[in-house]
Structure 1
Amino acid sequence: RSKSMVLGELSRLSRPCSPQDQEKPLKAGWLKRQRSIMKNWQLRWFVLRSEALYFYKDQDESKAQGCIPLQGSQVNEVSAHQDEPGRHLFEIVPGAGEKDRSNTGHESFLLMANSQSDMEEWVRAIRRAIWAPLVFGQHLQAIMSYESQCGPQRVVPVLVEMCASFIREQGLKEEGLFRAPGQTNHVRELQDVFDRGKIPVFDSTDVHTVASLLKLYIRELPEPIIPFSKYTQFLSCAQLLSKDKETAITELSKQVKSLPQVNYNLLKYICFLDEVQLQSIDNKMSVQNLATVFGPNILRPRVEDPVTMME
């Protein structure tokens, strides 16, 4: 009986284990998994691919011991038991279709990371594999193309539109707007909702949380609003402003108009920040303060070092 149960577990985990060698792993690293029969922990090398999370006895192994299917699944952070603090746990819950095929009921796959940050990275990466395309960390052109297929045509991502609208209505006079941090857990919850392709409700949300969400979205763009290829030209315009303002503004206008359309639209849209600085007597966010907050996320080089950061 024990042998058949163990074989059943291996069968459940091993069914789709045929990773495509040519596919680049999305993430890899050591995790502990809890075996469903013995409830003990087993250290394994995990490799995340688009269709499943594979695990190996050693990182040099070429044949996977088993894998956890991802299609239709959910991944959740799990609070450690009060008697066992310091455990960084998360679970993968099979989707309805997966549960029907494997007869595993509501049983989930429990995993343990080495640290809180490592656990959060794994959860994020797995969600990316399950829900792709995401909103956060997605190229601007890709998210605009995706959203255009799912609803009315927009000039900027729905997240940006919602955040700007909420801030306009609720928080233009809020002191420290865009500087004071929002509620970290709530920001992460809202991020997850958007990444699942759903639209959250901001009604009772703190304005600093919405502002932090908008900053996070802009910061996580794989390429900034001003593309890497334009970095030198825009920086030159900025340096020219102190020498020949008229020429610099002319050149800056030329560079702005040369941006890809989706980048131009987003840059133009977030210029609602002008409305923020008009209320700087109340919110204490002058042009200079806003530039300090947003500048590095709008314009940054492909490779950052101390020299380019100072520039």
Structure 2
Amino acid sequence: MQHQSLSGSVSGIKPDKSWRVWWMLTRPHTLTAAFVPVTLGTVLALETGRIDIWLFLAMLVASILIQIGTNLFNEYFDFVRGLDNENSVGIGGAIVRYGMKPKTVLYLAYGLFAAAVLLGIYICISSSWWLALIGLICMAVGYLYTGGPLPISYTPFGEIMSGVFMGMIIILISYFLQTGELTWSVFLVSLPITILVGGINLSNNIRDLVGDKENGRKTLPILAGRKNAVQILSWVFIVSYVLIGLYVALGILTVWSFLVLLSLPKPIKAIKEFKAKEKPADLMVAMKSTAQTNTFFGLLLALALVIHYFV
């Protein structure tokens, strides 16, 4: 049995500090959940003709830093609570596979959040100090997802929290930075991405259902059952696409928005994989397809808006 130490590395594993280990520690497949909302929120502001590229870049980098920091907190706290081992699926594995010191991961997470705060100061100076409060709440949610006395990841609210704070809030802030205002149409357009980001979290919890249940978690898939959880994920995809059709019908979006239909093969593939397979190691394609649904859907919607504004 490996000895686990919070200050030192995991004994019996040779430390590996190559760039690949650091890269995997960021959980790169999750980073589009930060990139897409910022891009969409900024593109929505194109109609006003007021795009500040530096504010866009500051918001983009800050969102990515918070996302990576949240991933590192997940890595650290799941290790501390004994949830992760070298065979765990879907983790960076820097601690349990490559012997990185747990405290190194924790301090790096704090450092990334601190860097995001510095960018946040620039963002607030350029817009509104109310965003400081919203930003701090977002970071608190990122920390409390696996940290604190009652982690969000142990409750059935993970999908809602991730969808709202990594989808809707980022889109609204990105739009506000460029325009100084918020509109109902922007709020409505943020809903499909909010739902899809929550779907990424749901797919992760479906994959980890057995292990989470053994460790006392009460996630949505555990409470609803695996079959019902997969059905909920199906509706997550369906509702997201139906909303686009509804918005086109109401004149909120243009027919160019039907470009999002080009992403349909991804959610179809994800659901087929979840229905056909159950072992966590066999569900990486399903996980990837779920994340790619959000990526392609969001970027195609952004492209549709760009075409509408400039063609």
Q: TM-score, normalised by structure 2?
A: 0.22
Q: Which has the higher helix share?
A: 2
Greater relative contact order, per chain length (Cα 8 Å cut-off, separation 6+): 2
Larger Rg: 1
Q: Which has the higher strand share?
A: 1
Q: TM-score, normalised by structure 1?
A: 0.22
